[in-house]
A and B are shown apart, each in its own frame.
Chain A
Amino acid sequence: MSEGLWDILLLKDASTRTVVSGTALLGLAAGIIGAFAVLRRRSLVGDAIAHASLPGICVAYFVVGDRNFAALLLGALVFGLLGSACIAAIRDYTRIKEDAAIGIVLGSFFGLGIVLSTIIQRQPSGNRAGLDGFLFGKAASMITSDVLTIASVAGFILAIILVFFKEFRLLCFDRQFAAVQGRPVAVMDLLLLALIALCTVAGLPAVGVVLMAALLIIPAAAARFWTENLTLMVALSGGVGVVSAVAGTLASATIAGPANSLSRGLPTGPCIIITASIIFLVSMLLAPQRGMIPDLFRRFSLKRELALQSTLRHALQGAPAPDHRPSLPIDHGIHEAPDQSAPRRETDA
């Protein structure tokens, strides 16, 4: 292996170190908040927020002019929350179901974003390069201040989750029960939504609109296979987020594309997502309790056991029924004629 490769893998290079720490923090925050999003059936709300935030970025651009990063993110946050409010309103006040509401809001907000960004591009001072970065993300160009932004967002999310862990657990497990207990479920729901939006917006510049949703969903879904315990699942999900972020970033930095391809390396965002998908796939196949392969084995053995019991029963007519079945002193044919209502097993008599 060449020197250069080792430099990257051992994080000797300062810029690699910056990018890796940025994506890792993002993976952690997204994994943790994503666990709640998935359990609360809010998986695709992150997707909708990510798409809906685009016009916010454009509007902020109109207002504050050149790339003021904080202002762009604030605009994105406002429109992201506005979009999710629209989804909730459509779901609650019309006959349209949530899935269609998500699709409509996501698409038309994003359309508005495209309309606005095209107008920005036509302006003499316009520079759409910054906006295009939000569509697919440019993790490789992350600088220290970006990492600090992500770090503070991640710290904030972590703090809120730690403080309100009990409430979020109740919210995800049984919203109605929580409401009956007098918990302010609407407020908690809103807080969860705000955290999802915050995390999504913070991640947009790094992984882009479409793949930000993936970072929320996939680690949580992978963690779900391994445990039935919420605390453990949240921790695992955060862990999967960090691992896929680090591995994906390093992969994108080290694997070179073919010589004549468009870009030199591979895009970072997709590499992170694909790493996470591989972890998900392995979890789905192999996890001991909920995994597919162990489940297949159990199904097979259940079938075999049933067949065995049935054979035994037929063979041992007259002997007591197998263990799972207390002997039932009832007639099993339901006929009025006396000969038909005779017990079907001698044991029943």
Chain B
Amino acid sequence: MHVLAISANDAWTIATAATCAVACGILGCFLVLRRLSLLGDAISHAILPGLAMAFILTASRDVVPMLLGATVVGVLTAGLSAAIHRWGRIPEDAAMGVVFTSLFAVGVIMMAWMPRSLDLDPGCVLYGVLESTSLDTVHIAGIELPRAFTSLLVTLLLAAGFVTLCYKELKLTSFDPALASALGYSVALIHYTFISLVAATAVVSFEAVGSILVIVMLIAPGATAHLLTDRLGRMILLAAGLATLSSVSGYLLAIYLDTSASGMISVVSGAQFALAVFAAPRHGIISKAITRAALSSRIAREDILGMLYRWNERKEVDPAAAPLAGGDIALALRRPIAARMAMRRLAREGLLVSDAAGVHLTRSGIERARGIVRSHRLWETFLANHLGLPLDHLHEPSHRVEHFITREMQSELTTLAPDTDPHGKNIPPHHPAG
């Protein structure tokens, strides 16, 4: 039995990772909604020369110049990409690709040029040094705190404060920038304030977790939350929760497997997203498939009921009409297996009985079928009278629509329609006459 031993250092590292993930996750919701995800990617790569420049100029790892340098380069990335896209008429993604890869190349060269005394492992740029963040500490008000944790906490407070204060503005400019400028808001001001905050967060996080995990932390929680809810406020809170969850569980898994923590957190965030893609309650692939299957089975059942009701009508005119067998119905629906399943279910619900003579509607089956046929004929009437469709074009559209006509629509259609449909057939009433 392998027991996870969590030291105080591990606890601080987890706190650092979670703080970073929540700060990125909150801002990331808007990156995802504004379709700026790739800008997060671009910025996290492009800040490298800013960091390197600050290193070279100050010959130290002091936080403030690094933050300044990298934030400036980050905002520059956004501005340059937009300018190349607009002026050069180059597709947006290509423009971004040009800018951030060029800046990254400059950064790598600057690092190669750097004096040996400021050793910076190029690998760390990509995957960070999360494990050792708890070793580098500062004293604040007499308490010893990891430096990275402190700066990330400030970043988180800034991000949360900004999103709370400008919630309305962010929502409006993300959803409909044209309306925002028509209402007199400066879309560019909000955009660049937001981008500089993203850049600053990316810089602070970058030091701890590397550029790749920054991308994942910026995008994955927001995208996952987007699959899980339909409200912006909830989406942001959910993203923060998912971010915390993935950083804690990712770190613990990394200890267990004795491997890179930032790599593992990325994997867990990706897995979280994959899970949501399949299993999200409304927007997941599974639930969408179930909804679709349920709908097509309902349509099959209603088609069978309608078929049997029409046969009953025919029998009133022509008592010699041969009864419908299960095989006939399966054949008419063109989907034999689905039809068999639908009939079995209808029989179980007590709407039809099937015996040696054939398939018949029960009393409650007739009730239900009447509603469906009524919808169909009401719609045919509406199409013929109000849209002037010819008689032979009425059945197909009505056949599709009849399954979606609600009671209210029926009563609205009733006010427009007489008792017979354009083919001269009776439109059955809600309740049996008499």
Contacts and interface: CB of A to CB of B under 8 A. Distances in A.
B383 interface: no
Contacts of A290: 88-89
A271 B109 contact: yes
A44 interface: yes
Contacts of A225: 88
26 contacts: A43-B96, A47-B41, A93-B277, A93-B285, A95-B226, A99-B35, A100-B31, A100-B223, A104-B269, A104-B273, A107-B266, A107-B269, A108-B273, A110-B263, A111-B262, A111-B264, A116-B259, A136-B122, A218-B98, A218-B102, A220-B94, A221-B95, A221-B97, A221-B98, A270-B112, A290-B88
Chain A contact residues: helix, strand, loop or mixed? helix
B108 A270 contact: yes
B105 A273 contact: yes
Contact of B219 (A43, A44, A107): A107
Interface string B96-122: 111001101110110111111101001
Interface string A94-120: 111101111111111111111110110
A277 B98 contact: yes
B358 interface: no
A266 B112 contact: yes
Interface string A271-288: 101101100100010000
A112 B263 contact: yes
B263 A114 contact: yes
B41 A103 contact: yes
A32 to B, nearest CB: 16
Interface in B104-159: 104-106, 108-109, 111-117, 119, 122-123, 126-127
| The 8 residue pairs across chains A and B that have the minimum distance between CB atoms | A108-B270, A111-B266, A114-B263, A214-B101, A107-B216, A270-B105, A273-B105, A277-B102
Interface string A65-87: 00000000000000000000000
B112 A262 contact: yes
Interface of B: 31-32, 35-38, 40-41, 45, 84, 87-91, 93-98, 101-102, 104-106, 108-109, 111-117, 119, 122-123, 126-127, 212-213, 215-216, 218-220, 222-223, 226-227, 254, 257-260, 262-267, 269-271, 273, 277, 283, 285
Interface of A: 38, 41, 43-44, 47, 51, 90, 93-97, 99-116, 118-119, 122, 132, 135-136, 209-211, 213-214, 217-218, 220-221, 224-225, 257-258, 260-263, 266-267, 269-271, 273-274, 276-277, 280, 284, 290, 292, 295
Given A103-B219, A266-B109, A94 B283 contact: yes
A107 B108 contact: no
Contact of B271 (A41, A108, A118, A214): A108
B227 A95 contact: yes
Contacts of B226: 95-96
A290 B35 CA distance: 27
Contact of A38 (B94, B104, B260): B94
Nearest to B38: A99
Nearest to A40: B91
Contacts of A260: 115-117
B104 to A, nearest CB: 5
B239 to A, nearest CB: 12
A104 B259 contact: no
